[in-house]
Each structure stands twice: as structure tokens, then as C-alpha cells.
Structure 1
């Protein structure tokens, strides 16, 4: 009799466990269903894609955005690098953010492949890009209760500039793989990264830059073999993700060269971004801020760690095996730290 009672007790506990487990699955399914629900959204027709009209001193243009997921308190707008690259470099976010319930928005800045591409170079200024981001924010209904701004490389520079002017609209800020001074970036490239190359290779690169012989195919060949595969994306070129190659294929050189110059090894002398420096202004950023650096980056990880201490409410994420786009070559560390930051800020734990 005792054995029968014990058996029924075990079966009862098992049934309750299954019931609770089923309840947890129901809750998870409900969250998943809500996250993926496009009904009653104004972007349902194209599955999250919207061409947002942007007012500029040269008239109205349209920029491409795509919203993934629904979350009323965690919405991350992704600013790509370049300038003139594309959102495609963030394709791997699809593998991590949806399972965490984080909404995110792909966005091609004006001049980039999926957006309008006017040829007027007077549009390629930091202030106008900041104003563009603000117009995109308003169009997407982002505000201080949900708006996380993520920027990498040039996108990190743009994110800083946006925060200096509009941080009251932000819930959180992420500056990824971007220093706060381009002079310091060039110094790091020339004094630290360059000497890691074979001496003859480094000298040949410097000579090409000195003579401004940037159309010489040897220049790109040297950078690809001795720099890009070690500090931009730390993989053999044949293993580079298709999305990254697509981004490079779609770059707008008219924007890139005008603002950044001819290479990732430094800022070309006549590029409009040359001399940009915001080190002294970091102390004015009050919003919760994550700064991401990587051990093999084109940017100095020590400088980025310093940045995280200069802002008023900062955290540093170091990707030891990563390079400039560490979302690929140190992916687990990158996404674990990024997701933790977004959720900690959202839950008031930051």
C-alpha cells in the first residue's frame, strides 16, 4: 500500500512539473508570437522595411530601414560604418537578438546602397548625418524609454555626435570599435599596427600614401594581405562572411573617400573627417554607455577602455580575439556583453 501511495505521489508531482513546464512554454510562445507579430504595423506590407523621407538643405531624399521584432522597451538602431558602407555588416545580429526578444532596426544612411544616393558632396557632413539620425528616430517612434543607439566604426563616431546633441532621447548608447580621436587612431595605426608588418611592406605602404598613388593595385593588395585580414576581420579572406563581402561590394566610394579617405589604415590628408577629436567632450555623455574594444582592432582598445571611464555612466566590453568587426571574429563574447548591457539598462540594473 505504501508503494502505491508513493507511486501516486511521484506521478502527481511529475504531472505538476509538466503542467508548470507547459505553462513556461506557453509564456515563451506568447512572447515569441508577440515579437514576430507584424499585424497592425505600418511596415507590415514589406515585412518591416520602410523608406523614410529625410529633409536636407538639398531637398528631400529617402533612407532605407528594416525593423525586426517588437519590444516596447528595447529597440536598437544600428549605425553602420564607412561612411558609405551598408547595414549588411550586421546580418549576424539575426542570430542573437531575436532569441533575446530585442527589437532592432537595420538602416542605410543617406548615400549608402539601399538608400538614395545624391551626388552633392555638401551633404556629407557630421552635422547633417546627426540631423538625419534624429529624423529617423522620430519616424520610427523611438524615445528615451526604448531607444538604444548602436554605432560601429564611423557609426560609432556618428553615435557619439548624436549623443552630444540629443542624448535626452536615448535610453542607452553603444560605441563599438571607435576611438574618440582620429589623430590618436592614425598614431596607433602608424606607431603600433604598422610596425607589426614586415618592414619592407610597411615602408612600401607609407611610400604609396606619401605619393598619393592610391589607384595603384599594389596598395590594396598589401593592405588586404598584411592589415585587413589581421585587424579588420581576423579571418583568411576566403572565410570572410558573405554579408561582409556584400557590404564591401556595395560601398559608395564617393561618400567614403570624401569623408574618410582611401584606406582603413588612416585618414587621408584631404578627407573631411581628418582631425576629428571629441576626447574632451566625452565627460558630457550621461546616458548609460557601452564601449566595445577588441584585442586586434584597428582602433586602440586601451583608448576605448579609457573612453568608458570618461563618460559618466560607462561600461567596457573587451573582445580579446576580435578585430574591427568583432561581431564576427569574437562573436560569443561580443553578443553576450552587448545583450547583457541592453537588458541591464532595460531592467534598471546598470
Structure 2
């Protein structure tokens, strides 16, 4: 099932639209709602989660966050940090849950930025949230950038020099800079060569409309200049009271140092690191990923 739901946003004269797609039967059992990352990419790279319908009979809901993919784009809001906020995206999520009639009973998976958003949502104790999966997600952007810069320091010197040169000159939109970023991504975002088409589709969407990514994040994963640069949930992690599964990869941008505050702060938690993956184990070790998520959702911790 595929559709859209209207979403009224303060300051926008006409209703925005949230695009969503449901895999499986929402009435068959508790559904899993997935929050994509970025911020500013699309649902495409989470399509592998639809495997859960066949392996564990778990219905899956994917959607595009506002400003992205098939949902309403607002390019005139480029740089407006007061508009693109956690509060906005949580309100969008709540509107979708209401529209689908699942707000009283659902599980949530957030990947990367989606995990940051999901963790923040979980601290508000939404009554229908039964379990949480934080996949490849940082507990703070300070820890994220620190880990990313350690990985960056292991890149070939010429790649590092290219990154440094363009960041200093403010020419991060150049092809040379983007090529150096893609080299980093080939090691720490997705190690599959070629990258799956679902992942490539995300980059194409990002090129079409970088509004949300540039406003909230910035030019790259390690050159964070946007509104999230000081983001942290470390002081509120203890408020998460649902069973939680933490996932990351050995070569991940979300290194162990980035994830460990969740493990220390959440009471009911399990943590698994994929040995052969970076930031996208849902494709790099797809079968294992789906198995772990499915078992957690059907059997608990």
C-alpha cells in the first residue's frame, strides 16, 4: 500500500504531504516504522527492511521525511534552522501514525539521523511505542565528528589534502571535494562495490534537493556546519524506557565510541556490531541484519 497524508506546518500556507509505503498487512501484527537518515535523504536505502514481511511476517512502514523524496519539498527554506527542527519531524511522524491507525501499537527503527530522531521521540514516552532499534546512530554530534575525523586521518594523504583544501576555501560543492567524500563513503558508509541501486538513489535525491541536509548537517559527514552540530541526547538517554536494540558496523561512521552512551544509559538494551559492515549493514550483511531485527521484534531481548 502506497499513499500520502496531509501534514499542516506552521508558516506554510498549503498543507504539506507525507509520502509513505506499507509492506505487508498492518492488521496482521505490530508494525515496524522506519525513520531514514540524513537528515535530508530518502527511504530508499531502507527498502531491505521489507524482507521482514517474508522472514518474520512483520509489516513495515517506510516514508520520506518532509523536504525529501516523494514528500513535499520546501527549497525556499534552505538555511532556515528555525524551521527544520526535531519538533517538525516528530510532528510529521505522529501525523503518519495517526493516519495509519497504529499510534497505539508500533515498533520503531531509526537509522543514523533517523535513530537520533527516534531516540528523542522515545524520551517522550509515547504510549504506543513498544520497542526501539537504533541502527548506526550517534548519541551526540561531537562524538560523531570526533570518530569521523579519526577515520578521515586514515585515508590516503592525497584524499585528506583534497578535503582540507576545499573545506578551507569554502568550495565543498566542487566535484573534486565530492569525489574525496565518496572515497570516504566507500570505506565507511557502504563498502559494497558497486553500491546497491537503493543507496545510489539516495545520492541522486540529495543532488536534486540538498535543502535539509545542508541546513541541518552541512557539506559532509565530518564537516558538520549545520544546526545539528551541537546536538546531543546524552543527558536524556536514561528517559528511554522501552527495550532497545543497538546496531553498528565495525567500519561504521558510528564507531563504538559514538554508540556506547546509549548502551550505558538505556536500562533494557542489547548491542550487536556487524563484523563486515560500515554504515549500512542492512545491505552489507543483509540476511544477518534482517534476522537480528526480526528476532528482536518477535522474541524481545
Give me the TM-score of the superposition, normalised by structure 1. Answer: 0.79
Aligned to 2:236: 281
| Aligned match for 1:175, one of 127, 134, 146 | 134
Q: CA deviation at 1:240?
A: 1.1
Aligned to 1:52: 5
User: How many Å separate the matches in 2 of 1:177 and 1:73?
Assistant: 26
The unaligned stretches of length 5 or more in structure 1 are 1-47
- Structure of higher CA gyration radius: 1
Aligned to 1:114: 70
1:115 aligned counterpart, secondary structure: coil
Q: 1:256 to 1:199 in 2, by over 3 A?
A: same
| Aligned match for 2:33, one of 62, 74, 77 | 77
Aligned to 1:331: 286
- 1:318 partnered with 2:273: yes
1:171 aligned counterpart, secondary structure: strand
The RMSD of aligned alpha carbons is: 1.7
Note if contact 1:260-1:272 (Cα within 8 Å) is conserved in structure 2: yes
Q: CA deviation at 1:132?
A: 1.2
| Aligned match for 2:224, one of 267, 270, 295 | 267
User: How many Å separate the matches in 2 of 1:307 and 1:172?
Assistant: 14
1:209-252 deviation per Cα after TM superposition (whole angstroms, max 9, x unaligned): 23322122211111212x1111000123xx11111111211123
2:4 aligned counterpart, secondary structure: strand
| Aligned match for 2:255, one of 300, 304, 323 | 300
Q: CA deviation at 1:97?
A: 3.1
| Aligned match for 1:153, one of 112, 122, 128 | 112
Q: Name the stretch that deviates more: 276-285 or 54-63.
A: 54-63
Q: CA deviation at 1:303?
A: 3.3
Note if contact 1:293-1:305 (Cα within 8 Å) is conserved in structure 2: no
RCO higher in structure (CA 8 A, sep ≥6): 2
- 1:189 partnered with 2:148: yes
Q: 1:156 to 1:248 in 2, by over 3 A?
A: same
Equivalenced residues, count? 292
Q: CA deviation at 1:199?
A: 2.8
| Aligned match for 2:99, one of 139, 145, 148 | 139
Q: CA deviation at 1:159?
A: 0.6
Q: CA deviation at 1:167?
A: 3.2
Give me the TM-score of the superposition, normalised by structure 2. Answer: 0.91
Q: CA deviation at 1:308?
A: 2.3
| Aligned match for 1:88, one of 11, 26, 44 | 44
Q: CA deviation at 1:72?
A: 4.2
User: How many Å separate the matches in 1 of 2:121 and 2:45?
Assistant: 21
User: How many Å separate the matches in 2 of 1:306 and 1:126?
Assistant: 20
User: How many Å separate the matches in 1 of 2:221 and 2:229?
Assistant: 13
Going by fraction, where is helix more abundant, 1 or 2?
A: 1
* Aligned 1:11-22 pairs, distance under 5 A: none
Q: CA deviation at 1:301?
A: 2.3
Q: CA deviation at 1:265?
A: 2.6
1:53 aligned counterpart, secondary structure: strand
1:123 aligned counterpart, secondary structure: coil
The unaligned stretches of length 5 or more in structure 2 are none
User: How many Å separate the matches in 1 of 2:135 and 2:5?
Assistant: 25
Note if contact 2:152-2:160 (Cα within 8 Å) is conserved in structure 1: yes
- 1:104 partnered with 2:104: no
| Aligned match for 2:157, one of 199, 204, 218 | 199
User: How many Å separate the matches in 1 of 2:68 and 2:258?
Assistant: 29
Note if contact 1:295-1:320 (Cα within 8 Å) is conserved in structure 2: yes
User: How many Å separate the matches in 1 of 2:143 and 2:167?
Assistant: 18
1:97 aligned counterpart, secondary structure: helix
1:182-215 deviation per Cα after TM superposition (whole angstroms, max 9, x unaligned): 011111111x201211234223312322332212
Note if contact 1:261-1:267 (Cα within 8 Å) is conserved in structure 2: yes
